[in-house]
Amino acid sequence: MKNCSLLGVCVIAALGAGPLAAAPIETNDPPDLNQPQAITQDDLLRELRSMRERIESLERQHAEDQRRLRVLEEDRKTHGAPAKAASSPPTIPPTSPPTSPPANQAASRSAQAPRGNAVQPARAGSGGASSLAFSSTAVPGLSNALGQGNLYNPAITIFGDLGASLSTNGDDNRFNRFNLREFEFDARAAISPFADGVFIATFGEEIEDAPGGGVDIGTVVDVEEGYINFHSLPYDLTAKVGKFRNAFGPSNTLHTHDTPQVTRPLATQAFLGPEGMSTLGISASWIVPNPWDEFIELTGEVVNADGGEESPILGGPNAKNPAYLGHLKWFTDVSDFGSLELGGSYLYAHTAADAKFDANVFGLDATLKLPDPEAPDLRSFLLQGELFYSQNDILDQVTNTGTRNNSIGAYAFAQWQLSKNWYTGVRGDITEFPNSDTRGPSDRDWAVSPYVTWYLSEFLRLRFEYQHREFETGGSWDNEDNLFIQLTFVLGAHPPHPYWVNR
Amino acid sequence: MRLKNLITILLPFSLSVIPPAIAPNAEAEVLRIVTSTPSLADIAKRVGGEHVRVESLMKGKENVHHVPPKPSFVMKMRKADMFIHSGLDAEPWVPQLLKTSRRRNLLQGAPDNVDASIGISLKEIPDHGTLSRANGDIHVYGNPHYMLDPLNGVIVARHIQEVLSSKDPSHADEYRANFGTFEQQTAELVDRLTKKLAPYHGAPVVVYHRAWPYFLDRFGLIEAGEVEPKPDISPGPQHLIELENSMNADGVRVIIVDTFNPLSVAERVADSTEAVAVVLAGEVHGVKGADDYFTLFETDVDRLIDAFEESEAKADPDPPGEG
């Protein structure tokens, strides 16, 4: 049917657009301002009648084009070649003599080139390969584009995310340098009427401790997400299959360039990994019917327990599969523009090949957004917090015994939108470490991070974050002060983002 | 723990056999229509009359391009028999909302998804060969603020009348009659407002954002500049100085500001010129008094005339005979 629709639009463009484009554009011609004139009600009624006649003429022409298409399709099926009608002149005469395009660039929508679904699909014939072959023959000049299928290419967005830092911790070479935080390649398109595909690859630098001291900096290429999303399943279900960011609270679902601050919350890093948790599996979500007519969504995921090297909870490639994750979300409007979201998350995973070693991670989250009712685009207040609690077995490889570790962590931030393009906020962090190479089970971190964000445009953003961090290592406390700078830019298609991330 | 895990995973599937408690269109005789904007909602109400129940997702003050697609929108969409939206690239938040709503009949291209831009003669269609964000956030299909010409509202109303008649043929005569009334009332409105604005016919005005070509053309005003150097790019000092100079040279008396752009910036420009900055509603409920599609234009025209008069008083604080 897609081919069929395209065929319809193409043939209409070829056969009908000439006369259509030649139709007078009366509706929006600016008045002759050099000669002020009184526009009477009769003039307006005449203009309305003219518009109505033009619409009806276009409708008649469309119906005629459809009829001719059906004849051509039938001939094509019967004789295997375009019928003579394909080369015959249009039977409907132009509604008026051709005129030059108006100076104000106004043009009828009906005469525009096809632009995907926004054009009403032409329902002609049965479509399929024969339609495509026919349209290529009948519309010279379009055959190349149609043959290459470029019109079906996915929407592509590239996010550039650059950073720099200054730190009082001069011994740590992760700081006091420019960073290539991430370049993200995002491609997405419909696969069928009920499924979309998403592919997100990231390219960035990875800084690791070098064996002999100092740091090693390498380049990492990763499939951050790659999944098919069935958005129209029966019983109000949607399902993702592939690799995706897991539905454990609001912070984990954000890509690096979408986070409200330069740094991810310390607790999210400590419990789900430095980049959050993104695994391979299946995710199903369902809107729970309820008598209050509120948005209540239940998400269930079955995923690999392999979280890579960086996951504190998931056990790596040899851990017993699968891991299970559930998230319940309640969203309600608290005013015309304000909203409150409350959520709860639960993750169960094995932490080693032996099934007796496992982990439970619990999460609670809340997001309150209050735009100014008088100027919702210019001023707003956002409050978000998340609490993590885990019980997990840490495996001693030598003795093959596990130690049960209970950890807790949380973050909260408040953000004020000061004007159209300026935001400021402060985040507080406190966390323990469920499983870390460098931090003990009783070690803690806390930090305070004020920040300022400036959108130079919808597609270019500059952000500064100051962070004071106190950290405990083996019972002794130390601290550092860091200044982070982040420059984020967007190339290509307009990207989707969560409702509470302003832009 | 295994049992708990199983429950977590299987709960959605086990409950999914229960039919949804909220079936669409519980009131069989009334078509439930959701629109993206309040203007579309008002027109749908006028054409559908008592046979439709209409709700708009937008409230009216927001920037139509940047509406946050809240989950509560999903609940409204799930009860809708029909969704009417502005089409083009006016509402980039709509496609994702449609997919999250899990309603196949409302998806793009489905019969109950009504693209109001069909049949509209668009202005400012860019040359696709030279599209670049170096020119700002350009709308790729043309300027999408077509509802700010009341006569485009008539085209939209006609479209809605046909869709409603096709979906509910038993009331087609009423929809046709309602459309006729709307058409007549719109003609009277434009006639009335054009006469009101006649003293300012051909006057140059500056707009904050390029949202007003349909309105200005309809009512005989000329756009003489924009506060934004390029669409959706915030102005810098150099641009504002150049704008002020050109406004003084052209005798611009009014700066039209959208409800979602900062009035203060336009007021600073106005302070350096003889112009007055005025907020006009781009949507129903955008400003006080703009309660429906007709009062939207009446309010905007009244505000414009007030601004012109205020500007005259500003330019000539002591008119002869009063000193």
Yes or no: say if B103 and B78 are a contact pair by the CB < 8 Å rule. yes
Element (H, E) at A190: strand A178-192
Averaged pLDDT, A457-462 = 91
Looking at residue B255, its amino acid is I
Q: Which residue has the tokens 């070098």?
A: A210
In one-letter notation, the amino acid at residue B133 is R
A393 and chain B: CB distance < 8 Å anywhere?
Answer: no
pLDDT digits (tens, 9 = 90+) for A242-285: 999 999 999 999 999 999 999 999 999 999 998 899 999 999 99
B228 with B138, same domain?
Answer: no
Return the beta strands (E) in A288-355 as ranges: 295-303, 323-333, 339-350
Using one digit for the tens of pLDDT, what is the confidence trace for A99-153? 333 333 344 444 333 333 333 333 333 333 333 333 333 344 444 545 556 778 8
User: Considering the domain boundaries, does residue B152 fall inside one?
Assistant: yes
**Given this model, what pLDDT does residue A214 score?**
78
Cβ-count burial of B246 within 10 angstroms (0-12 exposed, 13-18 middle, 19+ buried)? middle
Nearest CA in chain A to B214: A28
Residues B57 and B180 in one domain: yes
Residue B127 predicted with pLDDT over 90 = no
Q: What predicted TM-score, i.e. pTM, was given to this entire model?
A: 0.78
Share of chain A above pLDDT 70, in %: 74
Sequence ranges of the domains in chain A: 2-151, 153-492
B7 falls within a domain = no
- Cβ–Cβ contact B217 with A under 8 A: yes
Number of domains in chain B: 2
Whether B135 and B53 map to the same domain: the answer is yes
Rank A49-53, A95-99, A408-412, B86-90 by mean pLDDT and report only the highest: A408-412
Average of pLDDT values for A209-229?
87
Q: Chain A: nearest CA to B183, how far in angstroms? A: 8
Domain that holds residue B96: 20-117+125-191
Tell me, yes or no, whether B187 and B208 share the same domain: no
**Which of A109, A123, A489 best probes binding to B when mutated, by most B CB atoms within 10 angstroms?**
A109
Whether residue B240 lies inside any domain: the answer is yes
**Spatial separation of the C-alpha atoms in residues A128 and A135, rounded to whole Å:** 11
The predicted structure's pLDDT at residue A38: 56
Instruction: Tell whether B239 is within 8 A of chain A (Cβ).
Output: no
| B88/A contact by beta carbon, under 8 A | yes
Query: Which residues of chain B neighbour A229 with C-beta distances below 8 Å?
Result: 99
Q: CA B137, CA A387: separation in Å to the nearest integer?
A: 39
Asked if residues B190 and B151 have their Cβ atoms less than 8 Å apart, the reply is yes
* pLDDT interval class at A356 (50, 70, 90): confident
Architecture of the A153-492 domain: Beta Barrel (2.40)
Evaluate whether residue B322 is within a structural domain. Answer: no
State how far the Cα of A95 lies from the Cα of A80, in Å rounded to an integer: 34
Question: Which CATH number fits the domain that encloses residue B102?
Answer: 3.40.50.1980
Q: Which pLDDT tens digit goes with each residue over A28-73?
A: 444 443 444 555 677 777 777 777 777 777 777 777 777 777 777 7
CA nearest to B269, candidates B178, B217, B218, B206: B206
Where a domain ends, among B167, B191, B215?
B191
Nearest CA distance, A397 vs chain B (angstrom): 24
Q: Which two tokens stand for residue A454?
A: 């400036």
Integer Cα distance of B44 and B156 in angstroms = 9
Residue A429 bridge partners (DSSP): A411, A447
pLDDT for residue A169 = 84
**A79/B117: higher pLDDT:** B117
Please tell me whether residues B88 and B44 are part of one structural domain.
yes
- Which H or E run contains A67? helix A41-79
Question: B54 with B96, same domain?
Answer: yes
Residues B158 and B52 in one domain: yes
Least confident of B8-17, B198-207, B311-320: B8-17
Does B229 map to a domain? yes
Q: Is B96 in the A-facing interface, judged by CB distances under 8 Å?
A: yes
Cβ-defined contact of B21 to A40 (cutoff 8 Å): no
Q: Of B172, B191, B210, which closes a domain? A: B191
Interface touch A110/B119, C-beta < 8 Å: yes
Q: Which two tokens stand for residue B301?
A: 């025209």
CA distance A346 to B136: 44
Q: Chain A residue with minimal CA distance to B103?
A: A232
A84 pLDDT above the threshold of 70: no
- For the segment A292-316, the average pLDDT, to the nearest whole number, is 87
Over the stretch B173-216, which tens digit does the pLDDT of each residue have? 999 999 999 999 999 999 999 999 999 999 999 999 999 999 99
| Least confident residue range of A128-132, B46-50, B111-115, B226-230 | A128-132
- Write the residue in B8, B63, B188 that is nearest to A324 by C-beta: B8
Cα separation of A417 and A452, whole Å? 10
Q: Is residue B6 part of a domain?
A: no
Share of chain B above pLDDT 90, in %: 72
- Partner-chain contact B141 A112, CB within 8 Å: yes
Question: In 3-state terms, chain A is what percent helix, strand and coil (to 5)?
Answer: 20, 45, 35
